[in-house]
Amino acid sequence: MNDSWLERHRRSILLLVLILALGGFFSAWRLPVGLFPLIDFPRIVVSVDAGDRPADRMVTEVTRPLELALRGVPKVEKIRSTSSRGSAEVSLTLGWGTDMVAAQLQMEAAVNRLLPKLPPGTTFTTRRMDPTVFPSLGLTLISKTDDLVALRDFATYQLKPAILAIGGVIDAEVLGGRQAEYQVLLDPLRLQAVGLTSAEVTRMLAANNEVMAVGRIEDNYRLYLTIVDTRLHNLDDIRRSIVKTEKSAVVTLADIADVRLGQQPEWTRVNANGHDAVLINIRQQRGANTVALVSDVRDLLAKMQAQVPTDIQVGTFYDQSELIVSSASGVRDAIIIGAILAALILFVFFRSLRLTLVIALVLPVVICISVLLLGLLHMSFNIMTLGGIAAAVGLIVDDAVVLLEHTVRRIGEARSSAMEITLQAAREMFRPLTGSSLATIVVFVPLSFLSGITGGFFKALALTMVASLIVSYLVALLAVPLLTHRLVTQEDAQRLEKIGPRLQRAQDIYAHRMQMWLLRPWWALLIVGGCVVVGWLAYAKLGSGFMPKMDEGGFILDYVAAPGTSLSETDRLLRKVETLITASPDVASYSRRTGLQLGGGLSEANEGDFFIRLKSGHRRGIEAVMTELREHVETEIPGLRIETAQLMEDLLGDLIASPQPIEVKLFGADPAKLRNSGKLVAQAIGKFSGIVEVFDGVKIAGDAIDVQIDRTAAALEGIDPETISRQLDTALEGSIGGSIQSGEKLINVRLWTPGDLRQRIAQIEQLPLSASDGHTLPLKRIASVQISKGQAQINRENLRPMVAVTARLEGRDLGSAMRDVQAAVRQLKLPAQVGIEYGGLYQQQQSSFQDLTIVFIAAVLLITVLLMFLYESMSIVLSLLITTFCSLTGVLLGLWITGTELNISSLMGMTMILGIVTEVGIFYFAELDIATSHTHDQLIVAGVKRMRPIVMTSSIAILALLPLAVNFGSGASMQQPLAISIVAGLIFAVPLVLLLMPALYALLSKTARA
């Protein structure tokens, strides 16, 4: 470092630092705010509708050809499909890092090429799975007058357009309510009397309701467009529509049908807090600012308050910004508390407000400049980047503290605070500062090659910490010497040189103990062996998981009633569930979808989900509330199968196609053997404590009424199967004969039969059909009507039939539960034709652990290379590495004592502790001249001189991370295992660095005793 250059440009350097810090401060208000980092999840879902084909025919005619076509899309790693009657869903998982926009276009092109070969009428949609499939804000609309049509119209034609105009909103999906329609209930006897069929009435009605341009005419120097307009405008127009002319009389629709204004048939139901409701799911664009978006929506609702009818109440059933703000506030408070604790430590050790002020200025400057870098890198504020800043608070002041302490000590020794002394001290620390900073930074380099959800999440944290550490190194090297010269006086240096009695006693004890250790270096080997044994025992006691758990303040309750259960019966069962939900003192509100799902997907009328929002403030933990509700539902409503999960947990499971922690995948060609094996596995694993909500993987669709046409009898009656199907469709479902415009909306006209002719299964046989010669006949004359049992959904993975047995964990870690599951499955002795694989979050955990192990090994190798470059001494490198590895015992002990699982967050902390302990060790060797050999006395003096900065920087790091380690605030949960790992490792590492490392170095280098 050029001293004269730094002295000559001291004002410009400080001005530049100030400008960058101010830039970071103001850019902080412009950064997007979200819950998680922006991650491209490599999953696309193709949904297919192909009429009402049975599930087995769907697989043969639609699903399998689709799988083969989509398998050819580049970078597809896994294909998973679900086929049921008339519909299929094909999920494709691609390699991480794939261009998902291009992949989606390639998939759509592949399906379009295949479409002509699929059954006629087949339609498809593709959906890229990312966090925007779940709403950022969910609104509820409840009407006191129960006018569900007006409620839905208000949501669709007034609220939705206004919401879509807000920046960052990509969709506002309206669910629930009812839609109006004109219903023409045809009387079969009157139809027969006038000699008409339902198909003829439909054609005539359409002919009476059209608008058509028929040509242009030039006249009087103007061009006119000629329009024939026969549109219908109201109920009376429909009734007066002429469907037949007989001699001098006409037959109107009112003569043969009952025409009325009704509501479209709905096979879904939406509820909010016990009332029929309309829900609006507001989804955001990728990268949008969630907090700002929600704030804009609330401002819009406030402005539109005068336009909202008095009988409509607008509420909220989900608000992601609440979780984001509370998480961000918790992490922010953790940063502030950590910084205050760090300042107290500095004052205790420095005993000078001036010295403390130097570091107090450095900390916010480094954080602000780091935020500026986040903006330049197009990152956002989320629980990972904020957690990275919080975790880095104790580390970003290390360089400044060590340099300041060394500089002040040199000023005290020289009895001068001249600029030359300050710059000389900075030059002496240049090499150790560079090495120690690199030691902490290089452990994050392998993370850039990490894929999967681990890489997606922790790359943001690692990048934030690397940016903070680089900025802190540059600020320490360039600004701290200048601030020290400006703020620190000779009196401050002399006060620091006056060692207090406690520190003097600690140094005396240290020197005595160190002398004993150096005289008996084999003690070091015993300590190393003890660390290995204790670390192994602690590791054996640790539970393992995947992602850290956090209390989101709300959870999803998925439910499925018995196969074939009607919508009304399902609703009756769910009213009981609602009673249980409202009875909980911790529940603030809830919303319910039946026949729908919050995140989309295949759904029947007997299934759906609740979103249950808990009260803020003092309440029980979310796991306790979920457990209590699950137990009540299983006990009091046995006909309902439920699954519970927090929303983000459910979302992440859907995004990575691993919705449950435990998934036992069974493969085989025989469907019966697969289903039986699934039941056996479910029974076996359901016996274990902590494994709940076990599902055998077999999902049965509802029963069907099967109409088998006797072709011979139909031909003799003069009616073909296609005509029979069309007439039955009109009788049972109704056929749309056009629409009538009413303001902005179009109201369909449905031709139907009266409800009293189609209420019971027995009545279907009596439905009248019209033959080609005009005579009518009952359906039973040409067809048999019978009930066919519901078919099981067919699941496949990579073109192989599969049954997936799933379960959730409650009060138990994933690792031990999976060991029990695997042992139980091995004892079942399933048929040899049935293959077994383990998926779910367990598979993700194993993959992530393997990746993090590689990262850990790479970090060790990079640190080794760095140390060898710094010292070119095998004895120094080995003593540092052995000490660092021994500190991992402290990490494992800390996790075990606190009951923290070994997950990707704690493994990340374990990797970081490698660099942090190495940094502390480098500070120790900075006091030694590495070019010469050293005596025992020199090693002891080095430890005495470095005790204060080592204890001080370690204490700062520990206290700065303490709020995260004790889970202060809701946002700290994701970083808590990481913080515990670092805190425990540092507590263990300080005595190891000061005592064990010099002893190891003495043993390896055979230093002289004096």
Phi first, then psi: what are they for 2, rounded to 5°?
-85, 110
- Residue 533 scores a pLDDT above 50: yes
**Alpha-helical runs (H) found in 73-177:** 100-114, 148-154, 160-164
CA 96 to CA 76: how far, in whole Å? 10
| pLDDT, position 402 | 80
- Residue 894 scores a pLDDT above 90: yes
CA 573 to CA 580: how far, in whole Å? 11
- Residue 571 scores a pLDDT above 70: yes
| pLDDT, position 1008 | 46
Residue with tokens 């006693």: 505
Task: Say yes or no: 382 and 504 in one domain.
Answer: no
Query: Residue 17 falls within a domain, yes or no?
Result: no
**Domain boundary at 760, 778, 796, which?**
778
First to last CA, the chain: 35
What percent of the chain has pLDDT above 70? 96
- Residue 729 scores a pLDDT above 80: yes
Strand order in the sheet with 257-263: 257-263, 180-186, 745-752, 735-742
796 Cβ neighbours under 8 A, 6+ residues apart? 59, 63, 67, 79, 80, 81, 83, 802
CA 453 to CA 591: how far, in whole Å? 30
Distances (CA, A) of 215 to 223, 500, 950: 11, 104, 92
CA 271 to CA 609: how far, in whole Å? 11
Task: Say yes or no: 463 and 410 in one domain.
Answer: yes
- Tally of structural domains, the chain: 5
Write out pLDDT tens, residues 452-504: 778 877 888 888 888 988 998 888 888 888 887 777 777 766 666 666 667 77
CA 940 to CA 758: how far, in whole Å? 96
- Residue 710 scores a pLDDT above 60: yes
Are residues 184 and 737 in contact, defined by beta-carbon separation less than 8 angstroms? yes
| pLDDT, position 532 | 93
Q: Fill in the amino acid letter for 330.
A: G
Task: Name the residue among 379, 282, 389 with its Cα closest to residue 328.
Answer: 389
Task: Say yes or no: 536 and 576 in one domain.
Answer: no
Domain of 83, CATH number, reads: 3.30.70.1430
Confidence band for 417, pLDDT divided at 50, 70 and 90: low
Query: Residue 666 falls within a domain, yes or no?
Result: no
Highest mean pLDDT among 52-56, 515-519, 909-913: 909-913
Sequential DSSP letters for 912-945: HHHHHHHHHHHHHHTTS-TTS--BHHHHHHHHHH
The pTM for the full model equals: 0.84
**Domain boundary at 657, 683, 700, which?**
657
Query: Residue 426 falls within a domain, yes or no?
Result: yes
Residue range 992-1000: mean pLDDT, rounded: 88
Cross-strand pairs, 91: 45, 80
Task: Say yes or no: 520 and 563 in one domain.
Answer: no
- Residue 448 scores a pLDDT above 80: no
- Alpha carbon dihedral 20, 21, 26, 27, in 10-degree steps, equals 60
- Residue 940 scores a pLDDT above 90: no
Query: Residue 844 falls within a domain, yes or no?
Result: no
Are residues 576 and 584 in contact, defined by beta-carbon separation less than 8 angstroms? no
- Residue 961 scores a pLDDT above 60: yes
- Residue 1010 scores a pLDDT above 70: no
- R_g over Cα of the chain: 36
Task: Say yes or no: 993 and 884 in one domain.
Answer: yes
Task: Say yes or no: 900 and 929 in one domain.
Answer: yes
Task: Say yes or no: 141 and 277 in one domain.
Answer: yes
Residue range 887-904: mean pLDDT, rounded: 92
Domain of 727, CATH number, reads: 3.30.2090.10
Average pLDDT, the chain: 86
Write out pLDDT tens, residues 797-840: 999 999 999 999 888 889 999 999 999 999 998 888 899 999 88
Range 539-555 burial, b when 16+ CB lie within 10 A, else e: beebbbbbbbbbbbbbb
Task: Say yes or no: 157 and 110 in one domain.
Answer: no
Distances (CA, A) of 381 to 31, 464, 920: 7, 10, 30
Query: Residue 35 falls within a domain, yes or no?
Result: no
With 0-12 / 13-18 / 19 or more C-beta atoms within 10 angstroms meaning exposed / middle / buried, residue 596 is: buried
Task: Say yes or no: 124 and 181 in one domain.
Answer: no
Task: Name the residue among 352, 353, 437 with its Cα closest to residue 397.
Answer: 437
Residue range 436-458: mean pLDDT, rounded: 82
Task: Say yes or no: 259 and 329 in one domain.
Answer: no
Highest mean pLDDT among 322-336, 340-354, 500-514, 888-902: 888-902
- Residue 905 scores a pLDDT above 80: yes
Write out pLDDT tens, residues 83-139: 988 889 999 999 888 888 999 999 999 999 999 999 988 999 998 888 777 888 999
**Domain boundary at 626, 641, 657, which?**
657
- Residue 941 scores a pLDDT above 90: no
Domain carrying residue 975: 500-541+873-1009
Query: Residue 231 falls within a domain, yes or no?
Result: yes
Domain of 987, CATH number, reads: 1.20.1640.10
Phi first, then psi: what are they for 832, rounded to 5°?
-60, -25
Q: Fill in the amino acid letter for 698.
A: V
Task: Say yes or no: 447 and 484 in one domain.
Answer: yes
Query: Residue 822 falls within a domain, yes or no?
Result: no
Are residues 61 and 406 in contact, defined by beta-carbon separation less than 8 angstroms? no
Q: Fill in the amino acid letter for 233.
A: H
Task: Name the residue among 300, 461, 275, 478 with its Cα closest to residue 383.
Answer: 461
Query: Residue 690 falls within a domain, yes or no?
Result: no
The 3-state secondary structure of 732-782, one letter per residue: HCCEEEEEEEECCEEEEEEEECCHHHCCCHHHHCCCEEECCCCCEEEHHHC
Are residues 67 and 81 in contact, defined by beta-carbon separation less than 8 angstroms? yes
Q: Fill in the amino acid letter for 653.
A: G
Distances (CA, A) of 719 to 103, 133, 776: 49, 48, 10
Confidence band for 578, pLDDT divided at 50, 70 and 90: very high
Under DSSP, the state recorded for 209 is S
Write out pLDDT tens, residues 229-263: 888 999 999 999 888 887 778 888 898 899 999 89
Which tops the pLDDT comparison, 131 or 736?
736
Task: Say yes or no: 592 and 627 in one domain.
Answer: yes
